[in-house]
Amino acid sequence: MPAQTITRADLCEAVYQKVGLSRTESAALVELVLKEITDCLERGETVKLSSFGSFVIRKKGERIGRNPKTGKEVPISPRRVMVFKPSAILKQRINSAEGHSGDQS
Amino acid sequence: MIKSELVQHIATQNPHLYQRDVENIVNAILNEIVAALARGDRVELRGFGAFSVKHRPARTGRNPRTGAHVSVEKKSVPFFKTGKEMRERLNKDSPG
């Protein structure tokens, strides 16, 4: 069984099925949830979602990188990156389900 | 921000919904992502990022304190890759 890709549409469908809202409103709420999380991260705040995981912003200082094709050294500007730390529960869920599906790697 | 604060923010913007409904919505979204990853599926949210599962093969590890060999079973770990738009939004003021 090939791995499937879940998108916004599937999340909207899940919300639609579980909560008595219209499809349009379900879609708007999925969007709003993502927007709230994004806005928070943009301010540099951590977002902790219990039993799921947390999104953390890390600041990276300037460093020297190398263009792998030309071998030329280029400075990499300081930047902010977002890291997802999965909760123990999420990690456990992923491993307990792995028994049934034969993984290829 | 924690989950209850997220629920509260959304509830204030949608006064026609009960806080309990908003809680159900947030949980439905998160549960759907978890269920997909548990099946080994990928979750791609354009502009935000993508969740996937990476498989780590079994290996022989070492107890760093005693140096004893221990076998580590194969396992799968959740992985998140930040979306392009998100990356850009986090670094708006300093281009690059």
- pTM listed for this prediction: 0.86
Interior angle at CA A97, CA A95 and CA A99, nearest 5: 90
Is A103 a residue whose pLDDT tops 60?
A: no
Contacts of residue B21, defined as CB under 8 A and 6 or more positions apart, other chains included, come to A19, A21
Which band of pLDDT confidence, cut at 50, 70 and 90, is reported for residue A28? Answer: very high
Q: Which residues numbered 20-49 in B keep a CB inside 8 Å of some CB on A?
A: 21-22, 24-26, 28-34, 36-49
CB-defined contacts A:B, below 8 A: 162
Q: Which tens digits make up the pLDDT trace of B50-87?
A: 999 999 999 999 999 999 999 999 999 999 999 999 99
Q: What confidence score (pLDDT) does residue B93 get?
A: 73
Q: Which tens digits make up the pLDDT trace of A49-102?
A: 999 999 999 999 999 999 999 999 999 999 999 999 999 999 999 998 655 444
Which band of pLDDT confidence, cut at 50, 70 and 90, is reported for residue A105? Answer: very low
Which of A10, A48, A86 has its CA nearest to residue A18? A10
* Per-residue CA distances from B37 to A84, B24, B51 (Å): 14, 20, 8
Interior angle at CA B79, CA B68 and CA A1, nearest 5: 100
- For A15, counting Cβ atoms within 10 Å of its Cβ (0-12 exposed, 13-18 middle, 19+ buried), the class is buried
**Assigned token pair, B26:** 């947030």
Average pLDDT over residues A8-21: 93
CB pair distance less than 8 Å for A4 and B37? no
The residue in chain A having the minimum alpha-carbon distance to the alpha carbon of residue B25 is: A15
Q: Which amino acid is at A5?
A: T
